[in-house]
């Protein structure tokens, strides 16, 4: 099980593609997002690795900037968050923690716990990043071809074993940073506190002065925190979150019982015309079309 939460951040109709193949040793996902997405989730029982194929700008994993040759690592059972570029094409690999630990021990002959606690951005050389990308894409291509020939001997088990060995070697050789900068942790804390307060007071309008007073923080500090973490202002980001909340309410609700006006007012939007304009700008459709 893996709890995922997604919110669309950049405006326009969302387009994307998704492909997933899985066995006991390895999961490989091919993702393409054509809008900026804010993701949160905690992989259970597995360690997650994400490498970029294409992105239009720097992304952020746990508040850390992610370049095209960087790898995002998600620790087993620990929530992580990712703010993607407006276009992000990627491969994500998941490996059972016990299997990854076994491979690390085979390489280092040492306790694997320190490396298993990696939770952040790992900087790879261009050559190593290319090697990881190619291994993941070759695995997906082979899995797709195997569907057409289900009775033929499959190379996937051996390929999965080789890919897991590669990822263990990458983690060992990359020597990931053990700690995130304190300033990034503080920024994430302010953003999370603001999100929590606004979520608990969903029907109240967003006002920067009131938000700062409730959190006990200066406006400058809060703005700096949001720009470090999200590249946008507190009110713009929090409004986008509320629009996503309305979107999910409309999408998941009973069409015969859902009243757009009531959901909008309950989500802090007091001016229905402005709400409808902002909603359509973000999602590329009117609330009545969701």
Please check the confidence at residue 168 and state whether its pLDDT lies above 80. yes
Confidence of residue 176 (pLDDT cuts 50, 70, 90): low
**Percent of the chain scoring above 90 in pLDDT:** 83
106: helix, coil or strand? Answer: helix
Confidence of residue 72 (pLDDT cuts 50, 70, 90): very high
Average pLDDT value for residue range 173-202? 82
Please check the confidence at residue 143 and state whether its pLDDT lies above 60. yes
Rounded-to-integer distance, Cα 287 and Cα 251, Å: 9
Confidence of residue 177 (pLDDT cuts 50, 70, 90): low
* Domain 183-289 class, CATH top level: mainly alpha
Nearest residue to 284 (alpha-carbon basis) of 87, 14, 7:
14
pLDDT score of 192: 94
Rounded-to-integer distance, Cα 121 and Cα 185, Å: 14
Q: How far apart are the first and last CA of the chain?
A: 28
Confidence of residue 133 (pLDDT cuts 50, 70, 90): very high
Pair 132, 111: CB distance under 8 Å: no
Give the start-to-end residue ranges of the domains of the chain: 2-174, 183-289
**Mean pLDDT for the chain overall:** 92
Measuring CA to CA, how many Å separate 106 from each of 98, 109, 166, 207, 266? Answer: 13, 6, 12, 55, 56
The structural architecture, per CATH, of the domain 2-174 is Sandwich (2.60)
Nearest residue to 157 (alpha-carbon basis) of 137, 167, 136, 143:
143
Q: Convert the pLDDT of each residue in 195-239 to its tens digit.
A: 999 999 999 999 999 999 999 999 999 999 999 999 899 999 999
Rounded-to-integer distance, Cα 89 and Cα 109, Å: 36
Confidence of residue 178 (pLDDT cuts 50, 70, 90): low
Q: Where do runs of H (alpha helix) occur along the chain?
A: 97-108, 113-116, 126-148, 156-174, 182-200, 208-215, 219-230, 234-252, 260-266, 272-283
36: helix, coil or strand? Answer: coil
Nearest residue to 115 (alpha-carbon basis) of 167, 68, 80:
167
Q: Convert the pLDDT of each residue in 239-257 to its tens digit.
A: 999 999 999 999 888 776 6
């Amino acid at each position: 099980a893996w709890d995922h939460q997604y919110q669309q951040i950049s405006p326009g109709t969302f387009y994307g593609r998704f492909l997933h193949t899985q066995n006991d040793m390895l999961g490989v996902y091919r993702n393409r997002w054509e809008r900026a997405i804010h993701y949160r989730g905690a992989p259970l029982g597995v360690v997650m690795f994400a490498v970029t194929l294409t992105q239009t700008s720097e992304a952020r994993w746990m508040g850390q900037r992610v370049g095209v040759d960087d790898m995002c690592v998600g620790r087993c059972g620990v929530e992580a968050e990712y703010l993607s570029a407006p276009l992000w094409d990627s491969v994500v690999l998941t490996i059972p923690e016990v299997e990854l630990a076994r491979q690390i021990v085979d390489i280092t002959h040492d306790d694997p716990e320190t490396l298993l606690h990696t939770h952040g951005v790992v900087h790879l050389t261009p050559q190593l990043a290319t090697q990881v990308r190619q291994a993941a894409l070759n695995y997906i291509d082979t899995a797709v071809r195997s569907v057409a020939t289900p009775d033929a001997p499959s190379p996937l088990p051996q390929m999965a074993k080789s890919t897991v060995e590669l990822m263990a070697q990458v983690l060992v050789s990359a020597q990931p940073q053990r700690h995130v900068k304190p300033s990034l942790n503080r920024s994430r804390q302010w953003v999370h506190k603001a999100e929590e307060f606004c979520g608990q007071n969903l029907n109240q309008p967003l006002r920067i002065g009131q938000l700062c007073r409730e959190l006990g923080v200066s406006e400058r500090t809060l703005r700096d925190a949001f720009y470090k973490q999200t590249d946008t202002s507190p009110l713009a980001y929090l409004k986008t979150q509320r629009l996503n909340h309305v979107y999910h309410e409309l999408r998941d609700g009973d069409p015969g019982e859902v009243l757009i006006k009531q959901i909008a007012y309950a989500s802090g939007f007091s001016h229905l015309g402005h709400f409808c304009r902002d909603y359509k700008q973000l999602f590329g459709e009117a609330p009545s079309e969701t």
